[in-house]
């Protein structure tokens, strides 16, 4: 059974403010329709954020500008021009807040999201490579680890046909067997009530990739599946939800991606873990974001 306290299970998916970090790249431009749609869907205010990183190089005992001619004031002024152009082109007819700052992007995004009481960060990412920095891009991976609010991200947004996954009509809620499942189910219920989204709950039982093949006989798999179904049933009872549940077997990230693809999902809902101070995200979150055929919303 999934044991959880009341505070661990109560969670409301309310979005009044969206932070959209932009770097003026094609990847950022590709998710503009998603940001605009989310803002209209929730009636949320949008803040565009660009961070200027001053190029520096070590010189003796101190760091100096790598290119002395590029002074911070000039870099910031140029970034503000690009921001105005981006906002007027990408969000024509829509009021958005524009903010240009200087500093480490991941640190600033996380800090400003906390200071401004942001409900949702929306940002693109990469989906390649086996290591943390290469897997999602170092900025995205740090924000996913450090931010407190919900984060929408897509590893392949720039490769999707226009209009795909903009409307959250079908959502796959990927749950584990932890207390966090209650929060995910609450968020899914909120999205169902607010948007009318179809919710499908999915749990992946690790297959041969996680257990010796000799143990993965049909009887053992059946036991794991039955226990998972019982635990998720208890979690739904506690959360007051009654969504359809599917249990898949295999590598977790690939199983979620496969199910989301077959279900025609517009969004995958996952958890990032409530205590990330002890060493990282929920163990499968990076892989799910990397492999998912659609955007992923993590809480």
What is the reported pTM?
0.84
Sign of the C-alpha dihedral, residues 114, 87, 104, 270?
Answer: positive
What are the residue ranges spanned by the domains of the chain? 6-298
Calculate ∠ Cα 32-273-284, nearest 5°.
Answer: 75
Per-residue pLDDT of 142-155, as tens digits, reads 899 999 999 999 98
Helices and strands (DSSP H and E) totals, the chain:
11, 12
For the segment 194-210, what is each residue's pLDDT rounded down to a tens digit?
Answer: 999 999 999 998 765 44
Return the CATH number of the domain spanning residue range 6-298. Answer: 3.40.50.12370
What is residue 81's predicted lDDT score, i.e. its pLDDT? 96
Q: What is the pLDDT of residue 125?
A: 81
Average pLDDT on 263-285 reads 74
96-124 pLDDT, tens per residue?
999 999 999 999 999 999 999 999 999 98
Predicted pLDDT at 107: 94
Model pLDDT for residues 51-88, shown as the tens digit of each residue: 997 665 445 444 444 445 557 888 899 999 999 999 99
């Amino acid at each position: 059974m999934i044991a959880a306290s009341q505070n661990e299970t109560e969670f409301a998916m309310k979005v009044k403010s969206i932070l959209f970090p932009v770097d003026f790249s094609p990847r950022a431009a590709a998710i503009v329709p998603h940001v605009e749609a989310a803002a209209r869907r929730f009636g949320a205010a949008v803040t565009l954020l660009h961070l200027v990183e001053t190029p520096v190089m070590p010189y003796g005992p101190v760091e100096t500008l790598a290119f002395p001619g590029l002074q911070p004031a000039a870099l910031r002024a140029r970034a503000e021009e690009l921001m105005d152009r981006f906002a007027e082109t990408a969000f024509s007819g829509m009021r958005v807040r524009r903010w240009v700052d200087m500093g480490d992007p991941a640190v600033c995004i996380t800090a400003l999201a906390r200071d401004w009481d942001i409900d949702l960060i929306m940002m693109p990412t990469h989906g390649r490579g086996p290591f943390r920095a290469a897997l999602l891009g170092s900025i995205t991976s740090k924000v996913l680890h450090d931010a407190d609010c919900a984060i929408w991200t897509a590893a392949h947004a720039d490769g999707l046909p226009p209009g795909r996954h903009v409307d959250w009509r079908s959502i796959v809620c990927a749950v584990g067997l932890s207390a966090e499942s209650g929060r995910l189910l609450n968020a899914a219920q909120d999205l169902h009530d607010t948007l009318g989204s179809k919710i499908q709950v999915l749990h992946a039982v690790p297959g041969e990739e996680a257990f010796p093949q000799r143990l993965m006989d049909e009887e053992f798999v059946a036991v794991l599946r039955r226990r998972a179904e019982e635990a998720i049933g208890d979690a739904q009872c506690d959360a007051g939800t009654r969504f359809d549940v599917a249990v898949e077997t295999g590598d977790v990230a690939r199983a979620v991606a496969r199910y989301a693809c077959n279900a025609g999902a517009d969004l995958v809902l996952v958890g990032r873990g409530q205590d990330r101070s002890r060493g990282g995200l929920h163990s499968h979150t990076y892989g799910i974001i990397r492999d998912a055929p659609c955007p992923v919303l993590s809480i």
